[in-house]
Amino acid sequence: MVTTIEELVERARAGVHRPGPQEAYREAAAGALLVDIRPVAQRAREGAIPGALVVERNVLEWRLDPAGSHRIPEATGHDLRVIVVCSEGYASSLAAASLRELGLRLATDLDGGFVAWAAAGLPTTAG
């Protein structure tokens, strides 16, 4: 059976609350981990979210698996609230679903991505 990317994204988002920019901002202030998975060229072009942890997509699972040998210090446990950020909120949905498969049950992604964050007037820095 063949699956389209639209179906894959829809499955990744099924039953998951995806916070908008304001809610994600509040959650980050309360301790949630914002993780920017955009490649360096995209961050340079679009800008960045101050305080967001940059973990490019190709190593995301390796760095955030609390049981993994290549984890980062921030990967403190499976109850960690992670909000994944990409440019517009599509790749981040797939990435967050992958993190949930690793047991990070509170992983989600920013609805609308960095573009929505910037449009909401939330803090950004130049790329």
If one counts every other C-beta atom within 10 angstroms of the C-beta of residue 59, the result is: 12
Domains identified in the chain and CATH numbers:
5-119 (3.40.250.10)
Q: One-letter amino acid identity for 104?
A: L
Q: How confident is the model at residue 127 (pLDDT cuts 50, 70, 90)?
A: confident
Higher pLDDT, 109 or 2: 109
pTM above 0.75, yes or no: yes
Q: Are 37 and 48 in contact (CB under 8 A)?
A: no
* Three-state DSSP class for residue 83: strand
Q: Over 90: is that where the pLDDT of 1 sits?
A: no
Neighbours of 42 (CB within 10 A): 17
Mean pLDDT, residues 8-14: 97
Distance between CA 7 and CA 23 in Å, rounded? 26
